[in-house]
Structure 1
């Protein structure tokens, strides 16, 4: 090893503490004109909370086995939290021009000789690595003798010529996050626009894939390459919805209650978002992370880690192409990105570092012969949002012709046949989202072109050892469930949670069906009733003439999860207001569930669709009570509390007499009786989600209570709770819960009832239902009643007080009059 390399190695070892913030040395907070900041020097704010210096990003100690032998591109001038043991930078100067190891000892930060800027310069070559952008250079030059750089207690690095007169500040040039007190927006007079851009990966603070900006159109999130805006909040929405929502969520969370306050300002001079912290000892930031979400993070002293308490958009699959090309995104999964069938991660190491821009690549090249037909085949991916940038093939008027058109072109990667139109994709498949993502409700089917040898049926024995191990573990775990079910079948009857049922319908055994029997019963799955969570539902008839509904679960991984959740809940309980699980099929990779058939379909068809039967008030009232009884049973009467997690009209089925039955337990969570909460992944449906889902705290059965309250309001009105409309210059939203509680307080509930009732309803019952609904949708879960109370309220066995106006609804009401 050369003497130079030996010297550099020792130097890097000595300087390691620069990127290990557990060491915090005392230092000055000011760099005056004529002084320099070299490698090993630091500026530290007077309160000791922030430090500025040269650092090299590094992974936490002891993680080499997880991430492998990786290193950062170089050294950076940065500001970081000085007292937190987890290295967390809040601002980086030269993120596009890292300093290499050989030039490290040659660089310095100083105020330029003319006093016009702050620079990082190589003092040997005089090459400027980085400099500030000061527009008022003339004013600075006149006062250069007094110019200094100061690291403020807020974490803001400023260039000051006169006391409290800042010629430049780091808060105006954010990297990927904003601290309390920093304005995020734009100056309408000077044109200054503050923009945040995600970092590239965990050890590379360079420019990543996603950016955020607040401008005249509102807050905009976009992917940089290819450019695609995927989330916007207009100024009206910021005022009337986002800020009130943020205030409510922050008040609900014990970690943020009382000391974090968001604020939005829009006047003639500037428009910006800012948040304040009243607790100077706390540490927090809002960042745009590598997956494209805005996140509020707070340091937990107890856990010695950063806690994410809020994310927007809540679905990690909303950011465009967040998983890279040839991947699938599932917002309800902890690891929400996965490669498509027979594709592998292009750079597994980058994926571990949370950089998925390279996505996935084919395991086997496509067959593209010039003198014969291709042997490639199509793998079906159902219920997905189709990829971006499709090409329409006008001549392909049938699905078979569409498939032929794709096979005949060597560059074609996939096709879809939708609404009698053929779409093909010749480039990378981007932004493919599964239906079971939080905000993706697409029912489209994508046909992915694969080499014949890579079709799933021929690759089952070729899985990677890791996948095989996971599969083996799944089989063992699921085997216990199967043994329990077969035991129940052998007994031919079972007890339901060990308590009496409300109108018990009997306790026949669960049937293990053969796949061929169900295929015959459903006429080869020809009569589709609809689509539920993770699968399609088909009508069938058993040999004894019993009409059934068969749910065929899609996707090996998600289908398995859905299968377990449904069988673990419905397989061991019975209640008149829960859909009955007749049996199942567990054969090879096939997962099917067999239910009793509900002749009147789901509640949403009768509330919102013109072709559904209009429900009279008495029927609506009995549906409300029935659903409440079913939820009360799940929450309070079973050995384990079962939280449904997806209560909505689509999951309430109606039998011949319109008696309701709760269905679709694929998202259910279980809580032992010794516990009151469960920490689980984000799940549910937009419009019915309790606020605590967004705050990231562990959930309780009260999330079902909130969803039930939203359903009650829709039962009352016969319309969706939220309707939105856009015009060229205006955004308008109509949020029915605001009207409901306002009319309730005014004593005019009759104005809320579905016009289809034509005034034929029981006003006393309607007022009671409205009160119960408004109690159920209180922001703080403590204020919501338990479902047992809800049943007594609705049955008139217990008086209901007038509910208060939730703070969020009050803010929306006030904002709507601005």
Structure 2
């Protein structure tokens, strides 16, 4: 942006951008008079970390803007779906929608000195009415009293939380729930949706009739303070292809997470179960791109790289429009699990684990790339990779991913496609998916693409050569 300059141009030349940028002109903020600062809208960006919510939500964007303008520490705000969030201090991890790896419909309004904004923008801004000043003061005082009351009640009754909203912005922030409330919401944890390496998931309905999925964690080793910190960090992660974390509860040694409920369940139910909806090829292809985008965001766009460690169809959930959303990201850190012990504690996911888990080398984001490659092959075939395939000669059993690479080399990928599609698929897209999948499952992690590169390949913006046969996969079938 023209209103900003690189804090350290020398570091930028060396590829180190951690110093960020700074405003060319200091903000005008004096508690004794109205500020002349204005706001510059930046459309289609991911919102920065650390939003501050307003307990009494402004009725419109103008009131949200005024709440930021009257706070000398406020540097930006966002108003989306009637929800106002403000940011104080530096803004971290703001990414522009590039239509490939990053997708966002949010608009961020950045506070600038009046001299740094074109006059047409300044003239369009209206001075807030005096009544808004009074209203903001009353709201601030009421918020202070309410927070004090909640602190007193929490200390008195030792609650793990009562609807204390950390932030009110779309895909960020978490709510602390009482264990008794989640018990009622889930009918005493009676409606089981599924189970995995991290715990069991139950369906629930909150008092406002919102459907949620409540995950009861197993083996959590975190203390309450660290658990809250880890969960709060996850609540700040936002992406259209990641399941939204609604809230949490810590009650004694019990740890629970509350997620938005995905009405179309998980990907495995549609690929492998006879009573599931048969996904057409177009939907499968968009699911592949969506999951790749979500993983790319976790690996490359978050403040710290987040390795999922358990990518599989069961952890790909589908909303009402079959948009894929990755579940269970970041849970290894939430429950305090040591990566060296993940292999022995995960259940039923060995078919997706990269060779590094067995060799004992350091785990990187490329383990997710390997798992994603295995999922891509299952999206093509509509069958489990672990199932066996009998050849016409001597009834030899072959691991399906090996067959996929052989068919790719022979130019016969159409024979791999799920027969339930009855030939209705785009062959170029199938070849593209199969090709990138076979690169993802290479033995050497250095030969695997990054998830950002996978997105570009699936979008047709990048091409890969023919992949070699992974020696480890070939060896286990001989």
Q: Could you say whether these structures have the same fold, taking a TM-score greater than 0.5 normalized by the shorter chain as the test?
A: yes
Give the direction of change, closer, same or farther, for the CA distance of 1:499–1:485 in structure 2 (3 Å limit).
Answer: closer
Alpha carbons 2:332, 2:339 under 8 Å: kept: no
Give the direction of change, closer, same or farther, for the CA distance of 1:752–1:590 in structure 2 (3 Å limit).
Answer: same
- Counting only pairs closer than 5 Å after superposition, residues 528-607 of structure 1 correspond to structure 2 as 528-555=192-219, 557=221, 567=231, 570-607=234-271
Alpha carbons 2:291, 2:326 under 8 Å: kept: yes
The alignment's TM-score, normalised by the length of structure 1, stands at 0.36
By how many angstroms is 1:651 displaced? 0.7
CA distance in 2 between partners of 1:773 and 1:557 (Å): 35
By how many angstroms is 1:699 displaced? 1.2
Alpha carbons 1:504, 1:575 under 8 Å: kept: no
Give the direction of change, closer, same or farther, for the CA distance of 1:545–1:796 in structure 2 (3 Å limit).
Answer: same
- Equivalent position of 1:768 in the other structure: 432
- Equivalent position of 1:807 in the other structure: 471
CA distance in 2 between partners of 1:561 and 1:741 (Å): 48
- Equivalent position of 1:476 in the other structure: none
CA distance in 1 between partners of 2:173 and 2:318 (Å): 23
Structure 2 residue 375 is the aligned partner of structure 1 residue 711: yes
Give the direction of change, closer, same or farther, for the CA distance of 1:520–1:508 in structure 2 (3 Å limit).
Answer: same
By how many angstroms is 1:516 displaced? 2.0
CA distance in 2 between partners of 1:697 and 1:570 (Å): 27
SS of the equivalent of 1:737 reads helix
By how many angstroms is 1:662 displaced? 0.6
Looking at secondary structure, tell me which structure has more helix per residue.
Answer: 2
Structure 2 residue 323 is the aligned partner of structure 1 residue 659: yes
- Equivalent position of 1:723 in the other structure: 387
- Equivalent position of 1:265 in the other structure: none
SS of the equivalent of 2:221 reads helix
Give the direction of change, closer, same or farther, for the CA distance of 1:812–1:587 in structure 2 (3 Å limit).
Answer: closer
- Equivalent position of 1:743 in the other structure: 407
Give the direction of change, closer, same or farther, for the CA distance of 1:548–1:493 in structure 2 (3 Å limit).
Answer: farther
- Equivalent position of 2:103 in the other structure: 502
Alpha carbons 1:488, 1:494 under 8 Å: kept: yes
Give the direction of change, closer, same or farther, for the CA distance of 1:809–1:702 in structure 2 (3 Å limit).
Answer: same
CA distance in 2 between partners of 1:746 and 1:731 (Å): 21
- Equivalent position of 1:634 in the other structure: 298
- Aligned residue pairs total 321
Alpha carbons 1:547, 1:596 under 8 Å: kept: yes
By how many angstroms is 1:532 displaced? 2.9
Alpha carbons 2:352, 2:371 under 8 Å: kept: yes
The correspondence for 1:701, drawn from 365, 375, 394, is 365
Alpha carbons 1:582, 1:596 under 8 Å: kept: yes
By how many angstroms is 1:537 displaced? 1.2
Which structure has the larger Rg over C-alpha atoms?
Answer: 1
By how many angstroms is 1:486 displaced? 12
Alpha carbons 1:774, 1:803 under 8 Å: kept: yes
- Counting only pairs closer than 5 Å after superposition, residues 448-463 of structure 1 correspond to structure 2 as none
By how many angstroms is 1:561 displaced? 12
Greater relative CO, 1 or 2 (CA 8 Å, sep 6+): 2
- Equivalent position of 2:161 in the other structure: none
CA distance in 2 between partners of 1:559 and 1:660 (Å): 32
By how many angstroms is 1:568 displaced? 5.9
Alpha carbons 1:635, 1:643 under 8 Å: kept: yes
By how many angstroms is 1:807 displaced? 2.1
Give the direction of change, closer, same or farther, for the CA distance of 1:753–1:714 in structure 2 (3 Å limit).
Answer: same
CA distance in 2 between partners of 1:622 and 1:559 (Å): 40
Give the direction of change, closer, same or farther, for the CA distance of 1:694–1:621 in structure 2 (3 Å limit).
Answer: same
- Counting only pairs closer than 5 Å after superposition, residues 345-494 of structure 1 correspond to structure 2 as 493=85
Alpha carbons 2:307, 2:330 under 8 Å: kept: no
CA distance in 2 between partners of 1:650 and 1:561 (Å): 30
The alignment's TM-score, normalised by the length of structure 2, stands at 0.61
Alpha carbons 1:585, 1:593 under 8 Å: kept: yes
